[in-house]
């Protein structure tokens, strides 16, 4: 099951050229771009990149992250530090595992035969580090 | 559908490059070998885009440079201009210059250098990375110095990301020679080794005029002669730093000019306020030392 998280996630995966164009847009707006990957939580891959002028630096970082974590979700975040925003303005996936196992709906019986529902990813059946 | 507008890197065109080189001639005094090399590079980039239009193979030219020369010969000034020149020629995408020294590249602890250098490289991508006093990266007396690590990362980036990054190293000639001796790989990855010659007396005079103009000062005839005399005397002395010495001399002349007018500022008209006269320059210690045969650094 395809995970849809962040911007553009209902579109086909972005090509590198499209990613570069998006990053250029972020840098034009003076947003600090960072790269994150996930296994259990979203972990930072290196520091957020401030004061960049060209997307080449971010692209090399994305490619380094893909090389290190080829089968993980990787996302690019753009942080806007201007007063009043001070938040992530754009976030999108740039890498996903070839096989996305999807989610299970778990039903638990509680007091008085009440049904409780929870969602859990099949990926978490395996221990951390071997999930994707 | 012929292609007047479709290839962006031909936007500069031959006319544009001519104008650019003319600008350079006007703004930079002397430095013939430097200008010749910039002309060569500009020509190559133009020819390359013409070749591309004809479907001939084009290899990205290596544009990493090393500027060597005595203090005050304009290495830093030219590097600043280089970024905008390469941008106007369409070779770099953004045309900004990131000027760094050893401190910005080399860390203090193990594992601190690589991220620091990489961050600088990322900031410089799409523009020009200017490493001033590059020879300080190597400290041969300390074999555990982290400078070598920074150089290796630099080399890697220069090799793998040629189209993203132009690196310009600068430093004094003898020290850079020693630096390259200990890093032969670096020397061969730099296509252009440009030596900045010392300026002649006439060129220094033109530089002085060029410096005075934006400050709103000018020499009168006496001052001009006195300043030429001053330059002759100064060039003989130790620690002569070419254009930088000229700037310092002008700053001191302005000080003397100001103290000459002190007390009568109310009566001074526009002309008096902006004219440096002979006595402002003749009072210099350099000239007096030269007359007395004493050598005095300043």
Q: Among partner residues B96, B119, B161, which is closest to A53 by beta-carbon distance?
A: B96
* B122/A47 CB distance under 8 A: no
pLDDT class of B295 with cuts at 50, 70, 90: low
Q: What's the rounded Cα separation, in Å, for the pair B93 and B60? A: 14
Q: What's the rounded Cα separation, in Å, for the pair B117 and B123? A: 10
- Of residues B195 and B289, the one with the higher pLDDT is B195
Interchain contact B115–A (C-beta under 8 A): yes
Instruction: Pick the closest to residue B211 from B262, B245, B255, B256 (CA basis).
Output: B245
Q: Which of A53, A59, A64, A65 to mutate to test the interface with B (most CBs of B within 10 A)?
A: A53
Among A21-25, B18-22, B212-216, name the one with the lowest average pLDDT.
B18-22
Among A4-13, B10-19, B247-256, name the one with the lowest average pLDDT.
B10-19
Three-state secondary-structure class, residue A131: coil
Predicted pLDDT of residue A43: 94
pLDDT digits (tens, 9 = 90+) for B18-29: 888 888 888 888
Interchain contact A52–B (C-beta under 8 A): yes
């Amino acid at each position: 099951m395809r995970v849809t998280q962040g911007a553009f996630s209902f579109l086909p995966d972005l090509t590198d050229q499209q990613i570069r164009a998006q990053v250029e847009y972020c840098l034009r707006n003076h947003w600090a771009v960072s790269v994150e990957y996930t296994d259990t939580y979203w972990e930072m891959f290196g520091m957020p990149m401030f004061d960049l002028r060209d997307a080449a630096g971010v692209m090399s970082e994305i490619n380094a992250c893909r090389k290190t974590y080829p089968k993980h979700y990787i996302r690019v975040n753009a942080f806007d530090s201007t007063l009043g925003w001070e938040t992530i303005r754009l976030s999108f996936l740039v890498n996903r595992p070839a096989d996305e196992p999807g989610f299970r709906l778990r039903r638990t019986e509680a007091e008085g035969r009440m049904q409780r529902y929870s969602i859990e990813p099949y990926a978490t059946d395996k221990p951390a580090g071997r999930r994707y | 559908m012929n292609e007047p507008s479709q290839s962006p890197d031909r936007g500069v065109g031959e006319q544009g490059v001519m104008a650019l080189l003319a600008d350079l001639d006007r703004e930079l005094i002397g430095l013939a070998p430097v200008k010749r090399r910039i002309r060569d590079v500009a020509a190559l980039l133009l020819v390359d885009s013409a070749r591309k239009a004809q479907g001939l193979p084009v290899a990205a030219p290596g544009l990493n440079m090393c500027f060597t020369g005595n203090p005050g010969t304009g290495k830093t000034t030219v590097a600043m201009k280089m970024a905008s020149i390469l941008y106007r020629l369409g070779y770099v995408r953004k045309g900004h210059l990131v000027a760094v020294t050893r401190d910005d590249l080399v860390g203090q602890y193990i594992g601190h250098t690589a991220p620091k250098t990489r961050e600088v490289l990322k900031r410089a991508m799409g523009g020009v990375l200017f490493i001033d006093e590059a020879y300080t990266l190597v400290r041969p007396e300390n074999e555990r110095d982290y400078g070598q690590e920074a150089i290796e990362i630099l080399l890697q980036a220069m090799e793998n990301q040629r189209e993203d990054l132009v690196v310009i190293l600068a430093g004094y000639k003898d020290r850079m020679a020693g630096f390259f001796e200990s890093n032969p790989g670096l020397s061969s990855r730099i296509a252009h080794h440009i030596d900045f010659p010392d300026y002649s007396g006439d060129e220094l005079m033109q530089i002085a005029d060029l410096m005075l103009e934006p400050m709103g000062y000018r020499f009168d005839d006496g001052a001009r002669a006195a300043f030429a005399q001053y330059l002759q005397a100064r060039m003989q002395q130790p620690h002569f730093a070419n254009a930088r010495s000229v700037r310092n001399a002008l700053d001191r002349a302005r000080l003397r000019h100001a103290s000459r007018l002190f007390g009568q500022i109310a009566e001074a008209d526009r002309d008096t306020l902006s004219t440096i006269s002979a006595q402002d320059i003749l009072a210099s210690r350099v000239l007096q030392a030269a007359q007395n045969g004493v050598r005095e650094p300043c």
